[in-house]
């Protein structure tokens, strides 16, 4: 069993959870497949090549927790595992069904975590996929998508 550092959620995320804007239950997650919280226009502002954004409810998990639970995708070359620290990368969403495009908070640096996404690059995603910064903070990200 791996020992994880405690990752403090950004104040903006706590605020959005408390106000009901950010999904707080599993049923909210499933509902987003039918009714988007974030408009296509807003999604394209932060990820021009994506068509949807799904925000995960708590409890948020690190990539390390997902790997430990058996989600081997996060260890595959396509997931660019060498570009992140799985214990300091908190999964907060993705870009829709079967996208395999994680949206994470990156806690590798001190201060507020950055928002990253796994960006697919074809051909050869196993060599060319990259974790790219979407926003320097979650507050900036939420402003960009209209939350």
Is 70 exceeded by the pLDDT of residue 2?
no
CA atoms within 13 A on the CB side of 49: 10
Number of Cβ within 10 Å of residue 78's Cβ equals: 17
pLDDT tier for residue 5 given thresholds of 50, 70 and 90: low
Quick one: which of 142, 108, 109, 144 has its CA closest to 17? 142
Is residue 60 classed exposed, middle or buried when 0-12, 13-18 and 19+ CB atoms within 10 A define those classes? middle
The pTM of the full predicted model, rounded to 2 decimals, is 0.91
Taking only the tens place, the pLDDT of each residue in 44-99 is 999 999 999 999 999 999 999 999 999 999 999 999 999 999 999 999 999 987 77
3-class DSSP assignment, residue 130: strand
């Amino acid at each position: 069993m791996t020992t994880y550092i405690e990752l403090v959620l950004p104040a903006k995320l706590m605020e959005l959870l408390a106000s009901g804007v950010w999904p707080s239950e599993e049923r909210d997650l499933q509902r987003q497949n039918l009714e988007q919280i974030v408009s296509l226009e807003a999604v394209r502002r932060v990820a021009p090549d994506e068509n949807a954004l799904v925000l995960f409810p708590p409890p948020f998990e690190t990539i390390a927790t997902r790997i430990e639970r058996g989600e081997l995708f996060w260890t595959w070359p396509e997931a660019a595992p060498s570009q992140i620290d799985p214990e300091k990368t908190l999964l907060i969403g993705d870009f829709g069904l079967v996208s395999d495009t994680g949206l994470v908070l990156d806690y590798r640096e001190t201060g507020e975590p950055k928002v990253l996404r796994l960006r697919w690059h074809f051909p050869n995603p196993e060599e060319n996929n990259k974790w790219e910064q979407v926003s320097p903070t979650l507050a900036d990200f939420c402003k960009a998508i209209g939350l």
